[in-house]
Amino acid sequence: MKDIVYRLGPGCEVDDIVEGNMYIGKVQGFATFGTFVQLNDKTKGLLHKSNVLTEKQEHDSIIVLVNQVRPNGNIDLREIVIPEGSYETQLVTKKITLTKLSDLISKIGRNVTIEADVVQIKQTSGPTIFTICDDSGVEDAAAFTEAGVRSYPEVNLGDIVRVFGEATRRNNQMQIEVSGMQVLKGEEADNVRGRINRALEARAEPPEVTPLVKSDVIDALWPEMRKLAKIVRRAVLTQQPIIIRHHADADGICAAVSVETAVTQFIRDNGGDPDQDNFLLRRSPSKAPFYEIEDVTRDLDMMLKDNVRFGQKLPLILLMDNGSTEEDMPSYKMTEVYGPDVIVADHHHPDDTIDKYLLSHVNPYHVGGDFGVTAGMLGTEIARLINPAVESRIVHFPAVAGVADRSEAPELDSYLALIEGKYTRDECKDMALSLDYEQYWLRFNDGREIVKDILNINNAPERHAKLVHLLVTEANAAIEDQMNTMMPHIHDQKLTSGANLFLADVEMFAHRFTFPPPGKSSGEVHDILCKKYVNEPVVTLGLGPDFAVIRSRGVRMNIPQMVRSMRDEMPGAGISGGGHLVVGSIKFVEGMRAQVIEKMIEKISEFPVTSL
Amino acid sequence: MKDIVYRLGPGCEVDDIVEGNMYIGKVQGFATFGTFVQLNDKTKGLLHKSNVLTEKQEHDSIIVLVNQVRPNGNIDLREIVIPEGSYETQLVTKKITLTKLSDLISKIGRNVTIEADVVQIKQTSGPTIFTICDDSGVEDAAAFTEAGVRSYPEVNLGDIVRVFGEATRRNNQMQIEVSGMQVLKGEEADNVRGRINRALEARAEPPEVTPLVKSDVIDALWPEMRKLAKIVRRAVLTQQPIIIRHHADADGICAAVSVETAVTQFIRDNGGDPDQDNFLLRRSPSKAPFYEIEDVTRDLDMMLKDNVRFGQKLPLILLMDNGSTEEDMPSYKMTEVYGPDVIVADHHHPDDTIDKYLLSHVNPYHVGGDFGVTAGMLGTEIARLINPAVESRIVHFPAVAGVADRSEAPELDSYLALIEGKYTRDECKDMALSLDYEQYWLRFNDGREIVKDILNINNAPERHAKLVHLLVTEANAAIEDQMNTMMPHIHDQKLTSGANLFLADVEMFAHRFTFPPPGKSSGEVHDILCKKYVNEPVVTLGLGPDFAVIRSRGVRMNIPQMVRSMRDEMPGAGISGGGHLVVGSIKFVEGMRAQVIEKMIEKISEFPVTSL
Amino acid sequence: MKDIVYRLGPGCEVDDIVEGNMYIGKVQGFATFGTFVQLNDKTKGLLHKSNVLTEKQEHDSIIVLVNQVRPNGNIDLREIVIPEGSYETQLVTKKITLTKLSDLISKIGRNVTIEADVVQIKQTSGPTIFTICDDSGVEDAAAFTEAGVRSYPEVNLGDIVRVFGEATRRNNQMQIEVSGMQVLKGEEADNVRGRINRALEARAEPPEVTPLVKSDVIDALWPEMRKLAKIVRRAVLTQQPIIIRHHADADGICAAVSVETAVTQFIRDNGGDPDQDNFLLRRSPSKAPFYEIEDVTRDLDMMLKDNVRFGQKLPLILLMDNGSTEEDMPSYKMTEVYGPDVIVADHHHPDDTIDKYLLSHVNPYHVGGDFGVTAGMLGTEIARLINPAVESRIVHFPAVAGVADRSEAPELDSYLALIEGKYTRDECKDMALSLDYEQYWLRFNDGREIVKDILNINNAPERHAKLVHLLVTEANAAIEDQMNTMMPHIHDQKLTSGANLFLADVEMFAHRFTFPPPGKSSGEVHDILCKKYVNEPVVTLGLGPDFAVIRSRGVRMNIPQMVRSMRDEMPGAGISGGGHLVVGSIKFVEGMRAQVIEKMIEKISEFPVTSL
What totals of helices (H) and strands (E) does chain B contain, helices first?
Answer: 16, 23
**How far is C-alpha B518 from the geometric centre of its chain's CA atoms?**
31
With CB atoms and an 8 Å threshold, state whether B470 touches C337. yes
What are the pLDDT digits (tens) for C174-228?
789 998 898 998 888 999 999 999 988 999 999 999 999 999 999 999 999 999 9
Spatial contact of C241 and C312, defined as CB atoms under 8 Å apart: yes
With CB atoms and an 8 Å threshold, state whether A125 touches C274. yes
CATH number at residue A226: 3.90.1640.30
**How far is C-alpha B61 from the geometric centre of its chain's CA atoms?**
50
Q: What is the mean pLDDT of residues C148-171?
A: 84
With CB atoms and an 8 Å threshold, state whether C445 touches A298. yes
- What percent of chain C stands above pLDDT 70? 96
The reply to whether B512 touches chain C by the CB within 8 Å rule is yes
Chains touching B (3+ CB pairs < 8 Å): A, C
Q: Best residue in A449, A469, A503, A507 to probe B by mutation, most B CBs within 10 Å?
A: A449
Bridge partners (DSSP) of residue C25 are: C62
Which chain C residues touch A333 with a CB distance below 8 Å? 470, 474
Exposed (0-12), middle (13-18) or buried (19+): which is A581, by Cβ within 10 Å? middle
First CA to last CA distance, chain B: 93
From the list A113, A126, A123, A133, the residue with the least C-alpha distance to A182 is A113
Chains touching C (3+ CB pairs < 8 Å): A, B
d(CA A286, CA A276) in angstroms, rounded, equals 23
Task: Assess whether pLDDT exceeds 80 at residue A32.
Answer: no
Looking at residue B188, its pLDDT comes to: 86
With CB atoms and an 8 Å threshold, state whether C297 touches B438. yes
- What percent of chain A stands above pLDDT 70? 96
pLDDT range class, residue B241, cuts 50, 70, 90: very high
Cis peptide before A516 (omega within 30 of 0): yes
Which chain A residues touch B144 with a CB distance below 8 Å? 172
**C-alpha to C-alpha distances, A322 to A347, A358, A561, nearest whole angstrom:** 8, 13, 21
Q: Of the ranges B148-162, B254-268, C288-302, C586-600, which one carries the lowest mean pLDDT score?
A: B148-162
pLDDT range class, residue C277, cuts 50, 70, 90: low
Task: Assess whether pLDDT exceeds 60 at residue C256.
Answer: yes
Looking at residue A509, its pLDDT comes to: 97
Q: What part of C 141-160 touches B (C-beta under 8 Å)? A: 144, 147-148
The reply to whether A163 touches chain B by the CB within 8 Å rule is no
With CB atoms and an 8 Å threshold, state whether C278 touches A333. no
Give the end of a domain, one of C92, C114, C129.
Answer: C92
**Same domain as B109, residue B185:** yes
pLDDT range class, residue B43, cuts 50, 70, 90: confident
Looking at residue B104, its pLDDT comes to: 84
Average pLDDT, chain B: 91
Q: What is the mean pLDDT of residues B529-543?
A: 95
Average pLDDT, chain C: 91
With CB atoms and an 8 Å threshold, state whether A337 touches C275. no
With CB atoms and an 8 Å threshold, state whether B148 touches A463. no
Task: Assess whether pLDDT exceeds 90 at residue C173.
Answer: no
Which chain B residues touch A475 with a CB distance below 8 Å? none
What are the pLDDT digits (tens) for A387-430?
999 999 999 999 999 999 999 999 999 999 999 999 999 999 99
d(CA A479, CA A489) in angstroms, rounded, equals 16
Domain annotation covers residue C480: no
Give the distance from residue A576's alpha carbon to the nearest chain B alpha carbon, in angstroms.
26
Looking at residue B499, its pLDDT comes to: 95
Q: What is the mean pLDDT of residues C457-464?
A: 94
**Same domain as A344, residue A411:** yes
d(CA A559, CA A587) in angstroms, rounded, equals 12
Domain annotation covers residue B465: no
Looking at residue C246, its pLDDT comes to: 97
Which chain B residues touch A271 with a CB distance below 8 Å? 148
d(CA A567, CA C610) in angstroms, rounded, equals 41
What size, in residues, is chain A?
612
Task: Assess whether pLDDT exceeds 60 at residue B274.
Answer: no
Task: Assess whether pLDDT exceeds 70 at residue B467.
Answer: yes
Looking at residue C288, its pLDDT comes to: 84
With CB atoms and an 8 Å threshold, state whether A589 touches C508. yes
From the list A44, A52, A55, A37, the residue with the least C-alpha distance to A12 is A44
Looking at residue C511, its pLDDT comes to: 96
Looking at residue A107, its pLDDT comes to: 83
User: What string of H, E and C letters represents the secondary structure of C353-408?
Assistant: HHHHHCCEEECHHHHCCCCCCCHHHHHHHHHHHHCHHHHHHHCCHHHHHHHHCCCC
Task: Assess whether pLDDT exceeds 80 at residue A456.
Answer: yes
What are the pLDDT digits (tens) for C318-329?
999 999 998 899
User: What string of H, E and C letters represents the secondary structure of A380-433?
Assistant: HHHHHHHCHHHHHHHCCHHHHHHHHCCCCCHHHHHHHHHCCCCCCHHHHHHHHH
Task: Assess whether pLDDT exceeds 80 at residue C363.
Answer: yes
Chains touching A (3+ CB pairs < 8 Å): B, C
Q: What part of B 258-317 touches A (C-beta under 8 Å)? A: 293-294, 297-298, 300-301, 304-305, 307-309
Domain annotation covers residue A447: no
d(CA B607, CA A87) in angstroms, rounded, equals 111
What are the pLDDT digits (tens) for B251-264?
999 999 999 999 99
Q: What is the mean pLDDT of residues C157-167?
A: 90
First CA to last CA distance, chain A: 94
What are the pLDDT digits (tens) for B324-379?
998 899 999 999 999 889 999 999 989 999 999 999 999 999 999 999 999 999 99
Q: Which residue of A has its CA nearest to C488?
A: A572
Looking at residue A437, its pLDDT comes to: 97
The reply to whether A487 touches chain B by the CB within 8 Å rule is yes
**Same domain as A132, residue A241:** no
The reply to whether B509 touches chain C by the CB within 8 Å rule is yes
**C-alpha to C-alpha distances, A319 to A225, A240, A326, nearest whole angstrom:** 14, 16, 14
Task: Assess whether pLDDT exceeds 90 at residue B473.
Answer: yes
The reply to whether C69 touches chain B by the CB within 8 Å rule is no
Query: Which amino acid belongs to residue A362?
Result: V
**Same domain as C148, residue C270:** no
Domain annotation covers residue C611: no
Which chain A residues touch B338 with a CB distance below 8 Å? 463
Which chain B residues touch A171 with a CB distance below 8 Å? 124-126
Domain span at residue C38?
3-92
**Same domain as A316, residue A355:** yes
Looking at residue A612, its pLDDT comes to: 58
Q: Which residue of A has its CA nearest to C441?
A: A294
**Same domain as A367, residue A226:** yes
pLDDT range class, residue A272, cuts 50, 70, 90: low
**Same domain as B151, residue B39:** no
Give the end of a domain, one of A69, A92, A115.
Answer: A92
Does the interface ipTM go beyond 0.90?
A: no
Backbone torsions φ then ψ of B130, nearest 5 degrees: -100, 120
**Same domain as C125, residue C81:** no
**Same domain as C511, residue C406:** no
**Same domain as B126, residue B57:** no
More confident position, B127 or C490: C490
What are the pLDDT digits (tens) for B91-125?
887 666 888 888 888 888 788 999 999 988 887 76
Which chain C residues touch A591 with a CB distance below 8 Å? 489, 505, 508-509
What are the pLDDT digits (tens) for C56-86?
888 888 999 999 888 777 899 999 988 888 8
With CB atoms and an 8 Å threshold, state whether C172 touches A126. yes
CATH number at residue C537: 3.10.310.40
Which chain A residues touch B294 with a CB distance below 8 Å? 441, 443
Sign of the C-alpha dihedral, residues A80, A85, A91, A92?
negative
Domain annotation covers residue C475: no
With CB atoms and an 8 Å threshold, state whether C450 touches A144. no
Looking at residue A368, its pLDDT comes to: 95
Which chain B residues touch C123 with a CB distance below 8 Å? 274-275
Q: Which member of A148, A337, A572 has the closest CB to residue C273?
A: A148
With CB atoms and an 8 Å threshold, state whether C441 touches A591. no
d(CA B315, CA B341) in angstroms, rounded, equals 7
For A86-151, the DSSP string reads: SEEEEEE-----B--GGGGGGGTTSEEEEEEEEEEEEE-SSSEEEEEE-SS-EEEEEE-SSTTPPS
Domain annotation covers residue B432: no
Looking at residue A318, its pLDDT comes to: 98
Task: Assess whether pLDDT exceeds 80 at residue A94.
Answer: no
What's the structural domain count of chain C?
4
The reply to whether A489 touches chain C by the CB within 8 Å rule is no
Looking at residue A173, its pLDDT comes to: 66
Looking at residue B145, its pLDDT comes to: 75
What are the pLDDT digits (tens) for A161-185?
999 998 887 655 678 999 889 899 8
Question: What is the SS3 assignment for A320?
Answer: strand
- What percent of chain A stands above pLDDT 90? 64
- Could you give the strand order of the β-sheet that contains B576-579, starting from the edge strand earlier in sequence? B491-494, B500-505, B538-543, B547-553, B583-587, B576-579
The reply to whether C172 touches chain A by the CB within 8 Å rule is yes
Give the end of a domain, one of C166, C198, C230.
Answer: C198
Average pLDDT, chain A: 91
Q: Best residue in C589, C590, C595, C596 to probe B by mutation, most B CBs within 10 Å?
A: C589
**Same domain as B108, residue B41:** no
pLDDT range class, residue C547, cuts 50, 70, 90: very high
Task: Assess whether pLDDT exceeds 90 at residue B33.
Answer: no
Domain annotation covers residue A451: no
pLDDT range class, residue A147, cuts 50, 70, 90: low
Q: What is the mean pLDDT of residues A265-292?
A: 80
Give the distance from residue B486's alpha carbon to the nearest chain C alpha carbon, in angstroms.
6
Looking at residue B148, its pLDDT comes to: 65
Which DSSP letter does residue A555 get? B
CATH number at residue B45: 2.40.50.140
Domain annotation covers residue A468: no
**Same domain as A190, residue A213:** no
What b/e readout covers A181-213, taking b as 16+ CB neighbours within 10 angstroms? bbebeeeebeebbeebeebbeebbebeeeebbb
